[in-house]
Homo-oligomer: A and B are copies of this chain.
Amino acid sequence: MASPSSMTTTSSTTSKLVFSGCSTSSSSSSSPRLLPLTTATTSSKCRAFHFHRRFNPLRHVHLRPCKNPTTVFAQTISPPSFIAAAMATEPSAKVIDGKRVAKEIREEVAAGVSKMKEALGVVPGLAVILVGDRKDSATYVRNKKKACEDAGIKSFEACLPKDATEEEVLKHISSFNNDPAVHGILVQLPLPSHINEQNVLNAVCIEKDVDGFHPLNIGRLAMRDREPLFVPCTPKGCIELLHRYGVVIKGKRAVVIGRSNIVGMPAALLLQREDATVSVVHSRTKNPEEFTREADIIISAVGQANMVKGSWIKPGAVIIDVGINPVEDSESPRGYRLVGDVCYDEARQIASAITPVPGGVGPMTIAMLLSNTLTSAKRIHNFN
């Protein structure tokens, strides 16, 4: 059982998975560090690209004959035509507002939590285990706590010192596994290097694995006619954005950049479950742009600032950018700013829709975590 001193109420992380999977500021063992592109270190947007030539979509799109432009929207959004996209002097892509969608989802979760409390007197509970004193991890845990409070979810927290033993961590997990007030358990990654991440994640009982990282959940996600109990939050958030913006996935070509356990791989499996034809591009892929140029949907989760140029994108494609990368910016009060894997200014002149960074996928992770926690509580209490 977590000691009272280390156990308090807690909350959300927009950024936990995103950062641990994609940001250059973190060093989770699961972090992908893929294609060998230098990180932009300038305040000018997509500068590495602009150094060479002034961007002109007409020049950069078709390095080989491109098939029809993408038409992936069902109804919600009118796709700009190829000509419109290519000739645009102003950005034409619809901005996929993850902040707004995440807010909607959090409100839906809050309503669901209320309903459950009213009907059964049960309040969903989320436990977070934090080991060590990483500043970024502490911030994420604080955010989780706040988001839980807002949604009416009870949060539990076990804060352990950085020299805590694996046994101690496992003891806390076991205690949360057995606590009927806890419906979801989340281990804040990365763990200190002396702790075996696999052993710890495997110890979370599958019914409370709201992060969806248990191999049994991943196996069910990969298999046809099987259903995982939980889907990892960040890739689930990516697909939710596509759904809520009416993007058709079935029959479309999707490229996932990155194959991490926490974003790329499950994102590819989710897209395939929705009948996209999926290619996974990674650090060993030669000429990844040859794949992305054919894609109707791109999900990038690679942690390389501005890696995906305008010239990598098929006109009309939909871009989900999971990367959150700090680049130096002397004009910013903090000395840096956050950019995605995709060169946003270039992409929004070619794509039909794109997530910004920040404010795109980031806020979705915590929203899906809250949603998974409510789902778990409903399942455990057989409440619909």
Take A277-B282, A279-B278, A286-B251 as given contacts and tell me if A259 and B224 are in contact as well, using a CB distance cutoff of 8 Å.
yes
Known: A251-B285, A277-B291. A215 touches B224 (CB 8 A): no
Q: Please tell me if the beta carbons of B222 and A265 are within 8 angstroms of each other in the complex.
A: yes
Q: Which residue of B lies closest to A197 (CB)?
A: B225
Q: Is the CB of A223 within 8 A of B265?
A: yes
A350 smallest CB distance to B (angstroms): 21
Cβ–Cβ < 8 Å partners of A277 in chain B = 279-282, 284-286, 291
Q: How far is the CB of A248 from the nearest CB of chain B, in Å?
A: 11
Most B Cβ at <10 Å: residue of A198, A214, A224, A226: A224
In the assembly, what is the distance between CA of A265 and CA of B285, in Å?
20
- Complex CA gap A52/B2 in Å reads 73
Ranked nearest first, the 6 interchain pairs of A and B with the lowest CB-CB distance are A219-B219, A215-B219, A218-B219, A279-B279, A275-B284, A277-B285
14 inter-chain pairs at a CB distance below 8 angstroms, sorted by A residue, are A29-B225, A214-B219, A216-B219, A217-B219, A218-B223, A219-B220, A219-B221, A222-B265, A223-B261, A223-B265, A277-B279, A277-B281, A277-B282, A278-B280
Residues of B within 8 A of A218 (CB): 218-219, 222-223
Q: Give the CA-CA distance A279 to B281 in the complex, in Å.
A: 9
- A294: chain B residues at CB < 8 Å are 290
Pair A220/B224 contact, Cβ less than 8 Å: no
- State which residues 263-304 of A face B: CB under 8 Å: 265, 269, 272, 275-282, 284-286, 290-291, 294
- The size of the chain A interface, using a CB distance under 8 A, is 40
Complex copy number for this chain: 2
A interface list, Cβ under 8 A from B: 29-30, 64-65, 198, 214-226, 250-251, 259-261, 265, 269, 272, 275-282, 284-286, 290-291, 294
Q: Which of A226, A251, A269, A277 has the most CB of B within 10 A?
A: A277
Checking B65, B216, B276, B290 against A215 with a beta-carbon cut-off of 8 angstroms, the contacting residue is B216
Q: How far is the CA of A261 from the CA of B280 in the complex (A)?
A: 19
B-side contacts of A215, CB under 8 Å: 216, 219-220, 222-223, 226
* Cβ–Cβ contact B259 & A272, under 8 A: yes
Q: A125–B215 Cα gap in the complex (Å)?
A: 27
